[in-house]
């Protein structure tokens, strides 16, 4: 009967794996174990050992099938798997966790390439020209540029046409400025409200009274009483005239105030509208 796990062998990654039996050896061991179990049936220890060996052989067989699917031989070497329909390669090439380096189309630069390009600033004679991406000349970009040019040309034409139209138009007439409410009130006061008269008579009477005071020694008391009564009557008539004139002026001022309120209210309504 073949014994597995007694002599570990090195695998492809450097690890130690137990040597496992082939399917024929596992089958022979299973049959031998069955014969031993039948012969030693009365003994309980022999039956337990047979069950343990059977389970162990099944595990070894499953491990061997798994390693065979991975392309690893019993001695730890890689098996030559048949080429696949996609173009060849082993089973390990299709695994996601394969450590085998994959082929790439890249050639790294070496020190000689660096020295040949003269990238050293201290040794170089000047600046070197790097590569450029080139202009972006796509169809969409060209269409956008053409649209912008058309808009710019149209705006220039409209601007020139407006300038010609303004130059050919007649000059605008100056709109007369409407007088303000204060100006209208001042004009009305100058044209309608009469100016107050000067008190010439009162000034003459005062002069005469002054001269009479200086010549009081030649006048009598009766004459002084008569002159004072006449002056009082004259002053009373002047006060009445002034009172009437004051009332007339008050009426005119009230009329002007009403007109100002009407004009200001109309102007405020026009501004709100």
Q: Higher pLDDT residue, 28 or 214?
A: 28
Question: What burial letters (b/e) apply to 37-72, b meaning 16+ CB within 10 Å?
Answer: beeeeeeeeeeeebeebeeebeebbeebeebbebbb
Closest-CA residue to 21 (of 63, 76, 66): 63
Residue-wise pLDDT tens digits, 48-71: 556 777 888 888 778 777 777 676
| Cα–Cα dist 221/228, whole Å | 11
Q: Where are the domains of the chain?
A: 8-77, 182-188+240-262
* pLDDT on residue 31: 64
The residues facing 10 across adjacent strands are 16
CB 105 within 8 A of CB 58: no
Q: What are phi and psi of 104, to 5 degrees?
A: -130, 150
CB 59 within 8 A of CB 97: no
Question: What is the Cα 190 distance to its own chain's centre?
Answer: 65
| Cα–Cα dist 145/128, whole Å | 33
Structure tokens at 18: 């137990």
Share above pLDDT 90 across residues of the chain, in percent, rounded to a whole number: 15
Residue-wise pLDDT tens digits, 12-30: 555 555 555 555 665 666 6
- How deeply is 111 buried, as exposed, middle or buried, from its count of CB atoms within 10 A (0-12, 13-18, 19+)? exposed
Angle between helical axes of 23-39 and 44-69 (0-180°, round to 10): 170
| Cα–Cα dist 245/11, whole Å | 137
Place of tokens 């039996």: 21
- What is the reported pTM? 0.21
- Give the HSE-up count for residue 25: Cα atoms under 13 Å, Cβ half-sphere: 13
The residues facing 78 across adjacent strands are 72
| Residue 155 binned pLDDT confidence (cut-offs 50, 70, 90) | very high
Residues with Cβ within 8 Å of 11's Cβ and at least 6 positions away in sequence, in order, are 17, 72, 76
Q: What are phi and psi of 72, to 5 degrees?
A: -115, 130
| Cα–Cα dist 218/140, whole Å | 125
CA distances from 74 to 15, 95, 182 (A): 14, 21, 122
Dihedral-angle region of residue 41 (phi above 0 means left; psi in -120 to 50 means alpha; beta otherwise): alpha
Residue-wise pLDDT tens digits, 177-208: 888 999 999 988 888 888 777 776 655 555 55
Residue 266 has pLDDT above 80, yes or no: yes
- Give the HSE-up count for residue 229: Cα atoms under 13 Å, Cβ half-sphere: 6
Which H helix or E strand runs over 8? strand 8-10
Dihedral-angle region of residue 106 (phi above 0 means left; psi in -120 to 50 means alpha; beta otherwise): beta
Residue 218 has pLDDT above 60, yes or no: no
* pLDDT on residue 63: 79
């Amino acid at each position: 009967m073949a014994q597995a796990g007694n002599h570990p062998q090195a695998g492809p990654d450097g690890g130690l794996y137990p040597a496992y039996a082939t399917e024929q050896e596992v089958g022979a061991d299973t049959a031998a174990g069955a014969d031993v179990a039948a012969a030693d049936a009365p003994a309980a220890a022999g039956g337990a050992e047979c069950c343990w060996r059977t389970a162990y052989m099944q595990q070894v067989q499953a491990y061997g099938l798994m390693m065979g699917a991975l392309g690893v031989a019993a001695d730890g070497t890689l098996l030559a798997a048949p080429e696949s329909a996609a173009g060849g390669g082993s089973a390990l090439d299709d695994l996601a966790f394969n450590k085998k380096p994959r082929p790439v189309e890249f050639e790294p630069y070496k020190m000689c390439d660096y020295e040949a390009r003269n990238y050293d600033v201290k040794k170089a004679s000047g600046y070197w020209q790097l590569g450029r991406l080139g202009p972006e000349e796509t169809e969409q970009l060209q269409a956008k540029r053409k649209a912008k040019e058309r808009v710019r040309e149209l705006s220039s034409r409209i601007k020139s046409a407006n300038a010609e139209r303004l130059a050919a138009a007649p000059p605008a007439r100056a709109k007369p400025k409407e007088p303000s409410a204060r100006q209208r009130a001042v004009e009305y006061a100058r044209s309608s409200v009469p100016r107050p008269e000067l008190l010439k008579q009162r000034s003459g009477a005062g002069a005469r009274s002054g001269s009479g005071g200086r010549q009081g020694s030649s006048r009598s008391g009766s004459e002084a009483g008569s002159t004072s009564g006449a002056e009082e009557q004259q002053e009373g008539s002047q006060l009445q005239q002034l009172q009437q004139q004051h009332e007339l002026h008050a009426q005119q001022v009230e009329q002007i105030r009403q007109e100002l309120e009407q004009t200001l209210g109309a102007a405020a309504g026009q501004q709100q509208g």
